[in-house]
């Protein structure tokens, strides 16, 4: 682990090194010396403000919720008293590119690394190289599939729980019966897998609820809209849309509105509680969403990285809870 270097040697006074004649001149120039000393202290203070450098490898910059996460991480770093500099990199959904970015952080000898993994099943090499270099590693939002060794922390939320919360609310509103469709996120993403797992575990308790369709909209609003448009065109009848995120859920609401379906006739649920998602719940376009706390995950990940860089103990798994959002409480949430 790279340690922040501090010079603990006591600097001898000017009297020790200054001949008598020079000391006399120094006294006459004391105002100048005071100005120089003040400037030196300012420079030293500026350097202290960025004592720690943390590399942050994001899976992609153009994801709506991850943008809130990234911005919140930057705000947290600026607010920390120790001074933390974050270097963000965008993997653009490329596993190989993300590994290269992490290797670059290691070669730069950063104090800690935070990774929002592209693929949670492909993190072994990242973990191995960071641990071998002695650099603290934090995975945020997406928990790796493999068990993590010492020196690695995971900050996330329980996606299975999110799916369960969404499904239970909609199942209750449906009265335990009806046809439903599921909009899936990126199939390689464990958030997709776990949220859908939570949904299906709840629906298994309701034999009167049938899953008619489930397809991936890869987290995108337009894809969600296109899929629901297709299902409507095919003449499929469904009573609810279970979406793995708010963006696809909003797309579903747009498709239903475009088809002339009365608002609220088909129940729609999302996950994340983005500003657009919250607004959609308030307007009744979505029946429910589940709040994923971007600030909570951001704060916890940056704090964990800083603590580990200072060799302070950190719990290996820090779970930020999900919260149910309905029209009744939507005003109490924000990113």
Tell me what the mean pLDDT of segment 111-119 comes to.
97
Number of domains in the chain: 2
Residues 261 and 313 in one domain: no
pLDDT at 24 over 60: no
For 7-12, the CB contacts below 8 A with 24+ separation are none
Task: Please determine, for residue 14, whether its predicted confidence score (pLDDT) is greater than 50.
Answer: no
Q: Are 106 and 119 in contact (CB under 8 A)?
A: no
- Residue 158 half-sphere exposure, CB side, CA atoms within 13 Å? 12
Percentage of the chain modeled with pLDDT above 70: 85
What per-residue confidence (pLDDT) applies to 332? Answer: 95
Same domain, 127 and 216: no
Claim to verify: residue 299 and residue 153 sit in the same structural domain: yes
Least confident residue range of 30-34, 59-63, 67-71, 115-119: 30-34
* CATH code of 276's domain: 3.40.50.2300
Q: What is the pLDDT of residue 50?
A: 53
User: Residues 264, 237: contact at Cβ < 8 Å?
Assistant: no
- Cα 101 to its chain centre, rounded Å, is 18
Please, which pLDDT band fits residue 18 given cuts at 50, 70 and 90? Answer: very low
Whether 153 and 300 share a structural domain:
yes
- Choosing from 276, 291, 306, the residue where a domain stops is 291
Is the per-residue pLDDT at 310 higher than 50? yes
Q: 311 in a domain, yes or no?
A: yes
Is residue 22 situated within a structural domain?
no
User: Other C-beta atoms within 10 Å of 122: how many?
Assistant: 17
Q: Are residues 256 and 285 in the same domain?
A: yes
Mean pLDDT of the chain: 88
Confidence at 105, pLDDT banded by 50, 70, 90? very high
* Structural domain that includes position 202: 159-291
Please report where in the chains the tokens 């589940």 appear, as a residue: 290
Residues 244 and 133 in one domain: no
Looking only at the bridges linking them, the beta strands covering 152-156 and 112-115 are unpaired
**195 within some domain:** yes
284 in the same domain as 239: yes
Q: What is the pLDDT of residues 156-215, one digit of tens each?
A: 999 999 999 999 999 999 999 999 999 999 998 899 999 999 999 999 999 999 999 999
**Nearest residue to 326 via CA among 288, 292, 270:** 288
Residues 231 and 311 in one domain: no
More confident residue, 30 or 121: 121
Say yes or no: 124 and 188 in one domain.
Answer: no
């Amino acid at each position: 682990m790279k340690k922040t270097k501090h010079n603990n040697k006591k600097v001898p006074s000017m009297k020790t090194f200054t001949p008598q004649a020079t000391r006399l001149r120094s006294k006459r120039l004391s105002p100048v010396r005071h100005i120089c000393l003040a400037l030196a202290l300012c420079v030293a203070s500026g350097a202290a403000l960025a004592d720690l450098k943390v590399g942050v490898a994001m899976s992609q910059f153009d994801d709506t919720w991850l943008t809130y996460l990234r911005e919140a991480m930057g705000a947290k770093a600026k607010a920390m008293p120790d001074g933390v500099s974050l270097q963000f990199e965008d993997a653009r959904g490329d596993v190989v590119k993300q590994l290269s970015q992490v290797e670059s952080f290691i070669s730069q000898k950063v104090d800690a690394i935070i990774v929002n993994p592209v693929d949670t099943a492909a993190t072994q090499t990242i973990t191995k190289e960071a641990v071998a270099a002695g650099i603290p590693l934090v995975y945020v939002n997406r928990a790796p599939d493999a068990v993590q060794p010492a020196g690695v922390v995971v900050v996330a939320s329980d996606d299975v729980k999110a799916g369960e919360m969404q499904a239970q609310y909609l199942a209750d509103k449906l009265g335990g019966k009806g046809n439903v469709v599921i909009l899936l996120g990126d199939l390689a993403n464990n958030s997709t897998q776990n949220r859908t797992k939570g949904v299906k575990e709840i629906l298994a308790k309701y034999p009167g609820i049938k899953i008619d369709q489930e397809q991936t909209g890869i987290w995108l609003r337009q894809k969600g809209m296109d899929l629901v448009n297709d299902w409507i065109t095919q003449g499929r009848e469904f009573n609810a849309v279970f979406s793995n995120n708010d963006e696809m859920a909003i797309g579903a609401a747009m498709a239903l509105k475009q088809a002339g379906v009365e608002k609220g006739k088909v129940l729609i649920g999302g996950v994340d509680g983005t500003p657009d998602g919250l607004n959609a719940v308030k307007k009744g376009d979505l029946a429910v969403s589940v709040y994923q706390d971007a600030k909570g995950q951001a704060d916890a990940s940056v704090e964990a990285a800083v603590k580990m860089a200072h060799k302070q103990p950190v719990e290996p798994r820090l779970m930020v809870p999900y919260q149910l959002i309905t029209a009744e409480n939507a005003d109490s949430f924000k990113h």
